[in-house]
Chain A
Amino acid sequence: MTVHQSAYVGSITHPPFYPALVAFAAACFVGTLATDVAYWRTADILWVDFSDWLVTIGVIVGCLALIVALIELLAFRSRLARRPTWMYAIGNIGALVLGAFDMLMHTRDAWTAVVPGGLVLSAATVLVLLVTAWMAPESLYRAGTEVTA
């Protein structure tokens, strides 16, 4: 009887919210790289305006993801279904730091906001995100495994 109940308690764990925010920020950084490349190839100022918005929103949502992740990990530790791995955390925080520098680089006016510094930082951010997704996917895709415990 009691054994059954403890198994039931395990099943009320809930999935964390922060991975959705991480994915949103990552999409912004990928977009920044795309529009940076477009500006580099065309020198059309339209593209760097897109980059400015994307990288800024990416950094804001990325910071939000970090705050939400810390709250969820600290406050709901025992009830959280999935926990991030080290690689996942370090990789994403690294990408956020690069993105923040990229955002500052993009506050420059015209060409040198992107070429070469902004473009390099945008590419590095996306590279870190890719490596992180490749090396540390389990926290996202092992949903439900802990519920069976």
Chain B
Amino acid sequence: MSQRYFDRRAGRIALLALACVSSAALAARAADAFDPMSQVGPNPVLPEPQQYLFPPMRLATVVGWKQGETPTVAAGLKIEPLAQGLQHPRGLYVLPNGDILVVESKSPNVQPVRRPKDIVMGMVESWVTSGGDTGPSNRITLLRDTNGDGKPETRSVFLDHLNSPFGVALVGTDLYVANTDGVVRYPYSPGDTRITAPGTTLTPLPGGPIDHHWTKSLVASRDGSLLYVGVGSNSNITENGMEAEKNRAAIWEVDRATGRWRIFASGLRNPNGLTFEPESGALWTVVNERDELGPDLVPDYMTSVKDGGFYGWPYSYYGQHVDPRVKPQRPDLVEKAIVPDYALSSHVAPLGLAFYTGDSLPQKYRGGAFVGEHGSWDRPQFNGYKVVFVPFSGGRPNGKAEDVVTGFLNQNGEARGRPVGVAVDKTGALLIADDVGNTVWRVTAAGPATAMNGAAK
């Protein structure tokens, strides 16, 4: 009889244990009353950091775009697909003759499993990365739309068998592709629809064996003598060891003639969208900040980048807010950490940045910045999953970011697409690479008058 009593007790204790663990998980998913818009602008509200036994997460199941479905655009604009059925398009580059390069790229998937969490996070990422089989990817597709009607007459594989490429830059007849493990140069002649010549590595970049943030953004200086490369960190917050972070979380400056490089700026966790602001000539980037300090920390941001500047990662964020997860700390570096220029809200994951230099979109967009926000996973409510516009004046952000292209999530919170790279084509239309929807979208002005203005260019 005591034996039977024991069995019942043991069962009850086991249930209680299970209840304890799962209620801890539920508590972490508590409602989030914080306004994410209070973290858009030069002075974001920064709540106290929180740490979890089970960090709040919400993942958008991939459903893709049905026939005829498109994202939603702001008033005065219209959107159409420029190309569909691509293989995980992430980057866009417009050549001088108007040809559009679509960089199709997949994660190198070389990251070794160092701990059990890597297995779980690997599964999580595979659920939300892309809909279905996107083929081998890792290539660049050329789209040629000579008459600017948004319907390319030519579509060709421009470069194939690349190693997780992301950034592209053309200087004269030298076309540079930033693979995850190096900047490679190819010979290019205007009008080429395919490059068959083998590439020459200009500068190797930190790739494996661990290659956590693998997208290498690329831009050439205005005089063409230098290249700037974004090299993301090798971890969320140093959990792969400091040795793995050597020369990472930085923007490199590469001498185009020799391939010699130096660290131009550091402390930038995952800098992407490197672009020169047209009015001031300053280098700008969008940065993905750290995770797992709460749904509203740390806001991702866009910032001008100063030569020799240190922007905090991993030791601190937004200047002197020290991250408790990093040991040993570096008070000397925290002290000089620069506060970024403009916050974009937490976990929106900005990956694309383009200043609007065209003139076919409505007047208010001129000179401002479009930002592609890939969207959140590390918070209970979605944030990002849209393209926003940040007005600029005098080379500085001037006003609140506004939504330009939304609807990448459907009403059930499923991902039809996710925006990454943005660019402006020769007609002044905004292009958006959608890596989950496998589409390049083209945003033009609504209404016949402005459309003709665009086509006339």
Residue A24 lies at the interface, judged by CB distance under 8 Å to chain B:
no
CB distance from A71 to the nearest CB of B (A): 11
Please tell me the size bucket of the interface on A. Answer: 35 or more
In the complex, the chain B residue whose C-beta lies closest to that of A89 is: B10
Selected from B10, B21, B115, B116, the residue in CB contact (under 8 A) with A101 is B21
Residue B222 lies at the interface, judged by CB distance under 8 Å to chain A:
no
**Docked complex: B1-33 residues within 8 A CB-CB of A:** 3, 6-7, 9-11, 13-14, 17, 20-21, 24
| A93-B53 Cα distance, complex, nearest whole Å | 20
Selected from B11, B240, B292, B324, the residue in CB contact (under 8 A) with A45 is B240
Selected from B17, B120, B325, the residue in CB contact (under 8 A) with A109 is B325
- CB-based contact A108/B292 at 8 Å: yes
Selected from A53, A77, A90, A108, the residue in CB contact (under 8 A) with B325 is A108
Most buried by B among A46, A77, A83, A89: A89
**Docked complex: A50-69 residues within 8 A CB-CB of B:** 52-53, 56, 66, 69
- CB-based contact B10/A53 at 8 Å: no
Residues on the A chain within 8 Å of B6, using CB = 73, 83-84, 86, 89
| A52-B51 Cα distance, complex, nearest whole Å | 17
Residue B450 lies at the interface, judged by CB distance under 8 Å to chain A:
no
In the complex, the chain A residue whose C-beta lies closest to that of B235 is: A109
- CB-based contact B10/A93 at 8 Å: yes
Residues on the B chain within 8 Å of A56, using CB = 116
CB distance from A77 to the nearest CB of B (A): 7
CB distance from A85 to the nearest CB of B (A): 9
Residue A70 lies at the interface, judged by CB distance under 8 Å to chain B:
yes
| A107-B292 Cα distance, complex, nearest whole Å | 10
Q: A52-B117, A111-B327, A112-B325 are in contact. Are A46 and B13 (CB under 8 A)?
A: no
| A74-B10 Cα distance, complex, nearest whole Å | 11
Digit string of B241-267 for contact with A (CB within 8 Å is 1, else 0)? 110000000000000000000000000
Residues on the B chain within 8 Å of A96, using CB = 17
**Docked complex: A99-122 residues within 8 A CB-CB of B:** 100-101, 104-105, 107-113, 115
- CB-based contact A109/B238 at 8 Å: yes
- CB-based contact B17/A110 at 8 Å: no
| A15-B29 Cα distance, complex, nearest whole Å | 45
Q: A53-B115, A66-B14, A101-B24 are in contact. Are A110 and B7 (CB under 8 A)?
A: no
Selected from A48, A53, A83, A115, the residue in CB contact (under 8 A) with B3 is A83
CB distance from A111 to the nearest CB of B (A): 4
Q: A90-B13, A100-B21, A101-B21 are in contact. Are A112 and B53 (CB under 8 A)?
A: no
In the complex, the chain B residue whose C-beta lies closest to that of A67 is: B14
- CB-based contact B7/A111 at 8 Å: no
Q: A43-B327, A70-B10 are in contact. Are A112 and B51 (CB under 8 A)?
A: yes
Residues on the A chain within 8 Å of B328, using CB = 43
- CB-based contact B51/A49 at 8 Å: no
**Docked complex: A128-147 residues within 8 A CB-CB of B:** none
Residue B111 lies at the interface, judged by CB distance under 8 Å to chain A:
no
- CB-based contact A104/B24 at 8 Å: yes
Residues on the B chain within 8 Å of A93, using CB = 10, 13-14, 17
Residue B162 lies at the interface, judged by CB distance under 8 Å to chain A:
no
Residue B326 lies at the interface, judged by CB distance under 8 Å to chain A:
yes
Selected from B14, B114, B325, the residue in CB contact (under 8 A) with A111 is B325
In the complex, the chain A residue whose C-beta lies closest to that of B240 is: A45
Selected from A74, A101, A107, A112, the residue in CB contact (under 8 A) with B7 is A74
Residue B107 lies at the interface, judged by CB distance under 8 Å to chain A:
no
Residue A97 lies at the interface, judged by CB distance under 8 Å to chain B:
yes
CB distance from B239 to the nearest CB of A (A): 4
Most buried by B among A69, A70, A107, A109: A109
Residues on the B chain within 8 Å of A113, using CB = 239, 325
Most buried by A among B6, B120, B236: B6
Residues on the B chain within 8 Å of A43, using CB = 327-328
Residue B54 lies at the interface, judged by CB distance under 8 Å to chain A:
yes
Residues on the B chain within 8 Å of A86, using CB = 6, 9
With A84-B6, A107-B117, A108-B292 given, name 10 new contacts (CB 8 A): A70-B10, A73-B7, A83-B6, A86-B6, A89-B10, A93-B14, A104-B24, A104-B53, A107-B54, A109-B238
List 25 A-B pairs, Cβ < 8 Å.
A45-B238, A45-B239, A46-B241, A53-B116, A56-B116, A66-B14, A73-B7, A77-B3, A86-B6, A90-B13, A96-B17, A97-B20, A100-B17, A101-B21, A101-B24, A101-B53, A104-B54, A107-B53, A107-B116, A107-B117, A108-B52, A109-B236, A109-B239, A110-B327, A113-B325
